[in-house]
Structure 1
């Protein structure tokens, strides 16, 4: 970025326009740089942890009085993520703004961006990605391979066009398995999703892969290693991440190339999660793209030279991209709330889990446990990938998120 000559004595306590203000090409006061985050969940919390390593000031907007971010942010603005006034308040207080959730007010963000405020990734990209049907249109328009699909007007017509089974997805608002329904036959029509949705031809895949891609404001771009994902098919929640994926060098190369093409097509700035299907014929199809740090990139905290969270801060603040080199293989397992558990969270088996070499436990700090709610994750690192998988399976059976009532009843 361009250097700007200013007096060192003038910087303390001031917020400056632009992003990073370099002084004489060599000096920067990170505390003077205010980063805004829309959303106060676990992704925001992990972004703040990396931002605070470099002493940036972080302001968060979230409706919850007890969000994971509130405990560690420099300032917390309590407000709805669609509240125009609250979003304006956040953006105007900050030098650069980002987000950790898609379901936010992109219309006001686009207007603020047009007025010169720095918002990354661009809300115009988010507007495309958060509506999954627009995302599919974008992929088709840019000749990026994805599964056959169509918007649903009549479920019977879509069934005839795509064949059964097919996957019905809500255009907006779906996450962690919500807003997704597999239509196996006519008996499922009555349970189909209501509201705007589209159908995707069912892909007979052998693996689900993901690649995190980072691109900074200078256009520098890097991909992280290819990982494979395993899902809890009962709740359709990503359950396990294996890094690196157990695929050939050719598939790894093609997956990274395709992921980079996606983000270049968007002209995106920040970290993006690109999810893919590897078909039985070794074809790679784009499933979905997340315009933010992502569950499939959590392994990077312990496993890579630079985590996805640090990389995102680097991207949006005009800093050089960090190395994405894999240091050690790893496996990530989500800590989900147990069935029928509601209330103040307690974690059963923490001591036993931490006795296993290579186990790293991340608790998100949510104030209430609910069934299948993401309460944390565990990353197991090991020089041997298969040994890491075994340890991860052991941890999954040991560490449980339950309620205080559940703990008292045991």
Structure 2
């Protein structure tokens, strides 16, 4: 197969720089390297086609190469128009992976890339946000029959999968990688926490210390964003709809209040909910002059851009990835990265060491689905604990950290109901 002629990428001359990026992350992903060694020997995907939709940058590219090393014919596309890196796409094509992706395609092109990825008739999929699954279950049901199952990366995607499952419409098993311990405890908390502020800081070049940061949503991603904001010297306000999470945020030392109150105080806003219209008209109307809005949820619907545009008398791009909205009273509000994922659309995403564990889970979960798809039903599944623990153990070994093991007496004690 000629992957260059079959692929859609911006510019193949960019491949050299893409290879350098992939080589760099490979050096910092020891867990995934170990999985690759296993896959090369065991060939779990021999003769199979795998379709991947993820944020298409270097760490994702290396995951695709690991799956390819397991014997798969891999096709990949981006899961967000602004997170695709064209040099990485070109490098993957040179490495024999079919790519349908460009940075910042228009909506029609983006949809076309997703459909072309599915038209390769994959046996297995890796999804991020549920776009591949949604297309398969709606307009392209003709491509369903060969799909054995797959794995989903994000909270948003899992919500969509569970809605399908609840209605009895899910046609194949999907593993909820986002819900694994080695995903949400590390990727969602430490990865999002660091990468969001990397994206905001390098885009704005403004100080965080002394400012007020409003974090909408106190799930694991929100916890990470709030923790890093506090570490940068900010005063942090959390908004929530869940009473339990609100109490947790309060006991972690943060102020908790409704968004309408927080909107009057915030200098920076970060939405991390997976829902829509988290910041909307009534909030824009009371914001400070100079308020900076950003989103770290999957889709660009958490900040209501339609209402923001309607309230503004003029807009302009004032700096790369920063749009200024001037209100009727002269206040200026700034939106980063078009309201898309600020850590990827305006940054490089999570650190490689963090994505090492997440993408190792993706790889082993895909192999698990391929082994068990006839037995596990058409449902949303948790990552088996033994796979989660294996990834954690590989990480400890890479860090040269040892831990204790239970003695036989301790095991017996824990299994007994008497002393």
TM-score, normalised to structure 2's length? 0.29
Higher relative contact order (CA 8 A, sep 6+): 2
Task: Report which of the two has the higher share of strand.
Answer: 1
Task: Report which of the two has the higher share of helix.
Answer: 2
TM-score, normalised to structure 1's length? 0.30
